[in-house]
C-alpha cells in the first residue's frame, strides 16, 4: 500500500492561491510539494504556532516563508501584501502548528487562525488530509492502510473567501477522502466474524439473568442458528422481536450470517405501525422468545408456525454448536467468512432494515447497506476512542437505530464488553449494573436520564466517563443538574435512522499542552461537531436556496453512512435524497465558527406564522425556563401548531400542569415570555390541559399524537 494517496489533483488552480490544509506534518508536506513542482512555494505560519522540529527545520532551510498574527487588526490590508507571493502562479502554503484534538478531526486549525486566513481575501485551495492508520477499526490490518489520503477541495475565489465557505469546502473534501477507506468495501457480517474471532475473550453480560457469554461462545452459536434460519425461510429478511440481551445479539448475528437481513421490529409501536412494518419488510419468520411473547402479549403476534423461539431452537442445535466451536477456534476469520458465503455480499447490498419511529406519520423502511453501517461504526469509533478495557451499557431497544449500531455492532466489532438490559426505564437495576461492572459509557435519551436523577445514588454512577444523549433536545439546566449530582456531564449528540444513525457528538476536550493549540470538542447547547467523513450544506426553509453554513437552514448531509433510500418508496426517497447523495434531514440548524452544529428544530416542528418560521423547540426551552421545568424528571409541556385563517398557524401549548383558569395562565405565561425576549408571534395563543405528553418508546416526542390532541380540542 502506498504511503500517500491523492484525490482530485485536477482541482489545483493554475493561477496563484493560498493553500490551507486541515493538518500537515513533515512527510505530508514533502508529498504535497510534489504537486506544486515548478511553482514558487512560500510558507505561511502563525507567529505563535509550534511545529514539529523536522518540519520547522525544513522550512527554515528553504528560506522562503512569512508570518502573520491572529492579533492582526487589518487582515484585508495584510492580504494585499501577501498577494505578491501569488504572482507568476505562486503558491502560498499555510503550515498549521501542532494541535491537541480528537483523532480524525478534519481541521487542526483554531478558528482564530482561520478567521484571519479567510479575511486575507485571497484565492483559497482547501486541502483535506485523512490518516486512516490513526483512526481505523481494530479488525483492520494497519500495514495495509495508506498513511495519508490527501484530497484537494474545490477552489474558493478571493471574493468568496469566508470562514464558513472554507469549512464547508474542507468538509466536502474530507468526505471524499474518508469514503475511500477500505473497510467500507467489506460486509457487516464479515466485520462481525473478525470482531468475534479477534476479541474472543470479550463478553456480553446479560443483566436480565447475569449470564456471561464470551464472544468465543457467541460466534459458534450464531453460526449454528444461521444454518437453521436458512432452512426455515427463502425470504431475504427475517424479523426479530427481542429486547437487548444475549438472545437479541445472537439472533441478529445469525440472520446476517445466514446471508439475510435482520428487521428488528418496534414492539412498542401501534398495531397499525407494526403491521405496516411487517408488510413492507415482507417477512414470514419472527425470531423471539417464549417469555417475551408472554410479556408483550399485546403485540400482534403472527401464527405460532411463523415464530422461531430462540431458547427452544438453540438447545436442539447443540451438535452444530460444538462443531462450529471447534472450527472457529482453529480457522482464521477470513476462512470462516468464506465458509459462510459472506464474501458474496456486496458493500452496497442491504445489510439491515430499520423503521423510522413514525413520530410524524407511518413508519418508513430505512434500508441501510453494509457500507452505511460500517462507515458509522468507524466514524463513531474514531471519535469515541474509549479504549479496549472499557465497557458499554446496551439498554436502548434494538429497533432504535442508536441501540442497533452503537450498542450492538460497535462493541462486537471493536471488542468492548457489552452489558445489556431489556429496558432503559428501570434505572435502579441499570445503576446496579453500572456500579457492578464499572461501566464507563452510557448512551441514553434525556427522558431516560431523568430517571437516574430521581432514584439513584451518585456513587453508583461513579465509574461513568462518558454519557451521550440523543433523540431529543438536552436542556442545559438538566445537564448542569446531572453533572452536579453524578460528576459527569451528559454530552449531546445527533443522528437519524437514515444516517445509520450518528452524525454529531460532543466529547470531552483533549488535555491542553503548552506546545499545542487545544481545539474544543464540546460546546454546550450544540449537538457537537460532525463525525469524520460527513459534509454539510444548508438551504433556506422558505426558498430552498443555498445559504452559508453559519446561517440557519435545513441541514443537508453527505457521507458514506447516508442511506440509499426508503424501502419501496421512490417518491419519498426523491424528496430527501439527491442523485449525488445529499440527504435532506428535515432539521433546521447552523454551524458555528468552531464547527459545532446547533439544531433549532425539526422542520415539522416549525410553524409558519405571518411568513416567519417559528421553532417549537425554542419556545419549549423558553417555557421550561420561565416555569422552572428544566430539571423535571418527566416532560410536562409540548408545543404544536394549529391552522389559523389570519396568520397561517397559531401556537398551542399542551401542558400537564395547567390549572382550571387556562385563559389567565396563558396571559401570565405570555408576559413572562415577553420579558424573556420572545416576540409576541412566538407566544402560545392557548393552553390545552392533557393528562400526559405523548412520547415514543425512544423517549422522543410523539408529534403525530400531540397534533391529534391539539386538533381534537
pLDDT digits (tens, 9 = 90+) for 480-495: 999 999 999 999 999 9
Which uninterrupted H or E stretch holds 432? helix 427-436
DSSP state of 678: -
Domain annotation covers residue 596: no
Q: Is the model's pLDDT at 269 over the cut of 90?
A: no
Q: State the Cα–Cα distance between residues 449 and 632, nearest whole angstrom.
A: 11
Q: Is the model's pLDDT at 663 over the cut of 80?
A: no
Of 428-437, 438-447, 527-536, the range with the lowest mean pLDDT is: 438-447
Residues 459 and 541 in one domain: yes
Residue 686: which CATH number? Answer: 3.30.300.30
pLDDT averaged over every residue in the chain: 91
Q: Band of the pLDDT at 45, cuts 50, 70, 90?
A: very high
Please report, for residues 249, 278, 334, the alpha-carbon distance to residue 501 in angstroms, rounded to integers and kept in the order given. Answer: 19, 22, 28
Residues 457 and 579 in one domain: yes
- Pick from 145, 180, 215: which residue ends a domain? 180
* β-strand partners of 212: 205
Residues 137 and 265 in one domain: no
> pLDDT exceeding 70 applies to what percent of the chain?
97
> 668 near 657, Cβ under 8 Å?
no
> 289 near 242, Cβ under 8 Å?
yes
- Report the relative pairing of strands 441-444 and 391-394 from DSSP bridges: parallel
Q: Which residues contact 263 (CB under 8 A, 6 or more apart)?
A: 237, 238, 239, 240, 277, 281, 283, 352, 353, 354
46-68 pLDDT, tens digit each: 999 999 999 999 998 887 888 88
Of 146-155, 256-265, 445-454, the range with the lowest mean pLDDT is: 445-454
Please report, for residues 238, 568, 578, 579, 658, the alpha-carbon distance to residue 573 in angstroms, rounded to integers and kept in the order given. Answer: 23, 9, 9, 10, 41
Q: Band of the pLDDT at 631, cuts 50, 70, 90?
A: low
Q: Band of the pLDDT at 602, cuts 50, 70, 90?
A: confident
Q: Band of the pLDDT at 625, cuts 50, 70, 90?
A: confident
Residue 334: which CATH number? Answer: 3.40.50.12780
Residue 338's CB is within 10 A of a number of other CB atoms, namely: 15
Which pLDDT score is estimated for 366?
96
Residues 163 and 293 in one domain: no
118-173 pLDDT, tens digit each: 999 999 999 999 999 999 999 999 999 999 999 999 999 999 999 999 999 999 99
Q: State the Cα–Cα distance between residues 678 and 343, nearest whole angstrom.
A: 58
> pLDDT exceeding 90 applies to what percent of the chain?
70
Residue 6 grid coordinates: 491523492
Q: Is the model's pLDDT at 629 over the cut of 90?
A: no
Of 126-130, 347-351, 450-454, the range with the lowest mean pLDDT is: 450-454
**What is the extent of the structural domain holding 406?**
188-589
Q: State the Cα–Cα distance between residues 312 and 302, nearest whole angstrom.
A: 18
669-712 pLDDT, tens digit each: 888 888 888 888 888 888 888 889 988 766 778 888 888 888 88
Residues 640 and 566 in one domain: no
Q: Give SS3 for 213.
A: strand
**Phi/psi-derived region of residue 622, left when phi > 0, alpha when psi is between -120 and 50, beta in every other case:** alpha
Domain annotation covers residue 597: no
Which pLDDT score is estimated for 270?
84
Q: Is the model's pLDDT at 70 over the cut of 70?
A: yes
Cα-only R_g, the chain = 27
Domain annotation covers residue 63: yes
pTM for the model stands at: 0.89
Q: State the Cα–Cα distance between residues 429 and 427, nearest whole angstrom.
A: 5
- Report the relative pairing of strands 148-152 and 535-539 from DSSP bridges: unpaired
Residues 46 and 160 in one domain: yes
Q: How far is Cα of residue 614 from the mean position of the Cα atoms in its chain?
A: 26
Q: Where are the beta strands (DSSP E) in 84-193?
A: 91-94, 99-100, 124-130, 148-152
Domain annotation covers residue 366: yes
Q: Band of the pLDDT at 660, cuts 50, 70, 90?
A: low
Q: Is the model's pLDDT at 651 over the cut of 70?
A: yes
- Pick from 560, 589, 618: which residue ends a domain? 589
Residue 220 grid coordinates: 459458534
Which pLDDT score is estimated for 445?
86
Residues 387 and 296 in one domain: yes
**How many domains does the chain divide into?**
3
Among all chains, which residue has been given the C-alpha cell 422558505? 542
Domain annotation covers residue 595: no
Which pLDDT score is estimated for 400?
87
Residues 34 and 13 in one domain: yes
Which uninterrupted H or E stretch holds 6? strand 4-7
CA-CA-CA-CA torsion sign (547, 550, 554, 559): positive
Residues 55 and 201 in one domain: no
Instruction: Give me the mean pLDDT over the 355-377 stretch.
Output: 87
Domain annotation covers residue 594: no
Residue 323's CB is within 10 A of a number of other CB atoms, namely: 14
Q: State the Cα–Cα distance between residues 366 and 353, nearest whole angstrom.
A: 6
Q: Where are the beta strands (DSSP E) in 110-245?
A: 124-130, 148-152, 203-206, 211-214, 237-240
> 265 near 241, Cβ under 8 Å?
yes
Q: Is the model's pLDDT at 325 over the cut of 60?
A: yes
Among all chains, which residue has been given the C-alpha cell 398495531? 271
Q: Band of the pLDDT at 511, cuts 50, 70, 90?
A: low
Which pLDDT score is estimated for 611?
67
Residues 99 and 209 in one domain: no
Residues 354 and 487 in one domain: yes
Instruction: Give me the mean pLDDT over the 80-89 stretch.
Output: 95
Domain annotation covers residue 291: yes
Domain annotation covers residue 445: yes
Q: Is the model's pLDDT at 318 over the cut of 90?
A: yes
Residues 363 and 478 in one domain: yes
Cβ-based burial of 22 (10 A; exposed 0-12, middle 13-18, buried ≥19): buried
Which uninterrupted H or E stretch holds 191? helix 188-198
- Pick from 565, 589, 613: which residue ends a domain? 589
Amino acid at each position: 500500500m502506498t504511503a500517500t494517496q491523492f484525490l482530485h489533483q485536477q482541482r489545483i488552480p493554475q493561477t496563484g492561491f493560498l493553500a490551507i490544509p486541515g493538518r500537515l506534518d513533515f512527510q505530508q508536506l514533502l508529498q504535497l510539494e510534489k504537486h506544486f513542482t515548478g511553482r514558487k512555494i512560500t510558507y505561511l505560519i502563525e507567529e505563535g504556532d509550534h511545529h514539529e522540529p523536522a518540519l520547522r527545520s525544513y522550512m527554515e532551510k528553504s528560506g522562503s516563508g512569512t508570518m502573520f498574527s491572529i492579533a492582526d487588526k487589518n487582515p484585508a490590508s495584510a492580504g494585499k501584501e501577501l498577494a505578491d507571493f501569488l504572482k507568476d502562479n505562486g503558491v502560498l502554503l499555510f503550515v498549521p502548528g501542532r494541535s491537541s484534538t480528537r483523532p480524525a478531526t478534519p481541521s487542526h486549525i483554531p478558528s482564530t487562525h482561520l478567521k484571519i486566513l479567510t479575511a486575507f481575501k485571497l484565492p483559497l485551495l482547501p486541502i483535506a488530509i485523512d490518516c486512516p492508520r490513526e483512526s481505523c477499526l481494530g479488525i483492520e490490518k494497519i500495514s495495509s492502510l495508506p498513511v495519508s489520503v490527501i484530497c484537494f477541495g474545490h477552489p474558493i475565489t478571493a471574493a468568496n473567501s469566508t470562514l464558513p465557505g472554507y469549512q464547508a469546502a474542507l468538509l466536502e473534501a474530507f468526505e471524499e477522502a474518508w469514503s475511500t477507506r477500505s473497510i467500507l468495501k467489506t460486509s457487516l457480517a464479515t466485520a462481525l466474524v473478525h470482531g468475534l474471532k479477534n476479541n474472543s475473550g470479550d463478553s456480553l453480560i446479560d443483566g436480565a439473568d447475569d449470564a456471561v457469554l464470551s464472544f468465543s461462545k457467541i460466534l459458534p452459536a450464531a453460526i449454528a442458528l444461521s444454518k437453521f434460519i436458512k432452512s426455515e425461510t427463502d425470504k431475504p429478511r427475517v424479523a426479530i422481536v427481542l429486547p437487548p440481551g444475549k438472545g437479541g445479539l445472537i439472533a441478529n448475528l445469525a440472520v446476517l450470517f445466514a446471508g439475510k437481513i435482520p428487521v428488528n421490529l418496534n414492539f412498542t409501536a401501534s398495531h397499525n405501525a407494526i403491521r405496516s412494518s411487517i408488510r413492507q419488510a415482507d417477512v414470514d419468520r419472527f425470531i423471539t422468545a417464549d417469555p417475551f411473547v408472554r410479556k408483550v402479549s399485546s403485540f400482534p403476534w403472527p401464527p405460532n408456525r411463523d415464530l422461531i423461539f430462540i431458547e427452544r431452537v438453540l438447545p436442539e442445535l447443540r451438535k452444530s454448536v460444538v462443531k462450529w466451536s471447534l472450527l472457529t477456534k482453529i480457522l482464521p476469520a477470513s476462512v470462516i467468512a468464506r465458509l459462510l458465503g459472506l464474501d458474496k455480499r456486496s458493500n452496497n447490498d442491504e445489510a439491515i432494515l430499520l423503521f423510522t419511529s413514525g413520530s410524524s406519520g407511518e413508519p418508513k423502511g430505512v434500508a441501510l447497506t453494509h457500507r452505511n453501517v460500517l462507515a458509522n461504526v468507524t466514524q463513531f469509533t474514531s471519535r469515541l476512542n474509549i479504549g479496549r478495557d472499557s465497557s458499554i451499557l446496551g439498554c436502548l431497544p434494538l429497533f432504535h437505530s442508536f441501540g442497533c449500531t452503537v450498542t450492538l455492532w460497535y462493541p462486537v466489532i471493536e471488542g468492548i464488553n457489552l452489558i445489556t438490559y431489556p429496558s432503559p426505564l428501570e434505572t435502579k437495576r441499570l445503576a446496579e449494573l453500572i456500579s457492578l461492572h464499572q461501566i464507563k459509557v452510557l448512551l441514553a435519551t434525556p427522558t431516560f436520564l431523568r430517571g437516574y436523577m430521581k432514584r439513584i445514588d451518585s456513587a453508583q454512577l461513579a465509574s461513568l466517563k462518558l454519557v451521550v444523549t440523543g433523540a431529543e433536545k438536552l436542556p442545559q439546566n438538566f445537564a448542569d443538574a446531572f453533572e452536579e449530582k453524578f460528576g459527569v456531564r451528559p454530552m449531546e449528540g445527533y443522528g437519524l435512522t437514515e444516517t445509520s444513525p450518528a452524525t454529531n457528538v460532543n466529547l470531552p476536550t483533549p488535555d491542553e499542552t503548552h506546545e499545542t493549540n487545544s481545539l474544543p470538542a464540546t460546546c454546550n447547547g450544540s449537538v457537537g461537531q460532525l463525525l469524520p467523513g460527513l459534509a454539510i450544506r444548508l438551504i433556506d426553509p422558505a426558498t430552498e436556496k443555498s445559504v452559508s453554513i453559519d446561517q440557519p437552514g435545513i441541514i443537508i448531509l453527505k457521507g458514506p453512512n447516508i442511506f440509499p433510500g426508503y424501502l419501496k418508496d421512490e417518491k419519498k426517497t426523491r424528496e430527501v435524497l439527491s442523485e449525488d447523495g445529499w440527504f435532506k434531514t428535515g432539521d433546521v440548524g447552523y454551524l458555528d465558527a468552531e464547527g459545532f452544529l446547533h439544531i433549532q428544530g425539526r422542520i415539522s416542528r416549525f410553524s409558519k406564522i405571518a411568513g416567519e418560521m417559528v421553532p417549537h423547540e425554542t419556545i419549549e426551552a423558553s417555557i421550561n425556563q420561565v416555569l422552572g421545568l428544566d430539571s423535571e424528571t418527566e416532560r410536562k409541556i409540548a408545543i404544536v401548531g394549529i391552522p389559523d385563517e389570519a396568520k397561517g398557524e397559531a401556537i398551542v401549548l399542551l401542558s400537564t400542569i395547567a390549572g382550571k383558569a387556562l385563559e389567565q395562565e396563558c396571559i401570565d405565561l405570555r408576559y413572562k415570555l415577553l420579558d424573556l425576549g420572545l416576540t409576541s408571534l412566538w407566544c402560545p395563543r392557548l393552553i390545552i390541559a392533557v393528562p400526559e405528553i405523548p412520547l415514543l418508546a425512544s423517549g422522543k416526542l410523539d408529534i403525530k399524537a400531540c397534533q391529534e390532541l391539539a386538533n381534537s380540542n
